[in-house]
Amino acid sequence: MNGKSNMKGISFIEIIIAFALTSVLVAAAMPNFNDYSVRARVIEGMTISAAAQQALVDTCRSNENAIISSNEDAGFNFSKRSPESRFVENVVVAGDCASKDLVVMLWMENTGADPEPVFELRAWVPSGILSEGFETPYYWNCRLIRGEFGHVPSNCRKHYRKS
């Protein structure tokens, strides 16, 4: 051994450069993470829409000429006490069973979005389907009434209509 070491340490400049690069990467990822977090809360809140949709369909199947102007008309009770409703401010259902026009409106809250999203879910029957009564196939179109498109869940985007 000659007393000289070939080992070199990390310099302070290298640490600063590594920290700066990491900061840039984190700053670039934060908006996507925020959208992901809001979208996850919206998805959790939208699980309530399935019960509202089913209540509308059940009402139309039992009375093909029913006019649904309130949640009570469809036998749907929205409760803020359920765990699924912690991100939902309100749910309102309406419909005209004879014309197969059914609507579920969802007002979200506590999602972290500004403004809080509002969704309209509207039932539709594909053209060419001429069934009697309210039978399948029918689908639900999702429309963002208020909020950012980045907060729209993927299952809502596939049938998304902007207006």
Q: Does residue 31 fall inside a structural domain?
A: yes
Closest CA to 152 of 110, 120, 104: 120
- Among the residue ranges 78-92, 100-114, 118-132, the one predicted with the least confidence is 118-132
Strand 118-124 with 67-68, pairing: unpaired
148 in any annotated domain: yes
Domain membership of residue 1 (yes or no) is: no
Domain tally, the chain: 1
- Please, what is the average pLDDT of the chain? 81
Q: Residue 163: its pLDDT value, please?
A: 40
45: in domain = yes
pLDDT in tens, 52-79: 988 998 898 888 888 999 999 999 988 8
Q: What is the pLDDT of residue 116?
A: 92
Residue scoring higher pLDDT (96 or 80): 96
**What percent of the chain lies above the pLDDT cut of 70?**
79
The answer to whether residue 123 sits within a structural domain is yes
> Is 20 inside any structural domain?
yes
Residue 50 lies inside a defined structural domain of this protein: yes
Strand spans (E) along the chain: 67-68, 88-96, 101-108, 118-124, 139-146
Q: Counting Cβ atoms within 10 Å, is residue 115 exposed (0-12), middle (13-18) or buried (19+)?
A: exposed
Contact 42, 111 (CB under 8 A): yes
Higher per-residue pLDDT: 153 or 69 = 69
**What residues make up the domain containing 47?**
12-157
Q: Say if 105 falls within a structural domain.
A: yes
DSSP H or E stretch at residue 51: helix 12-62
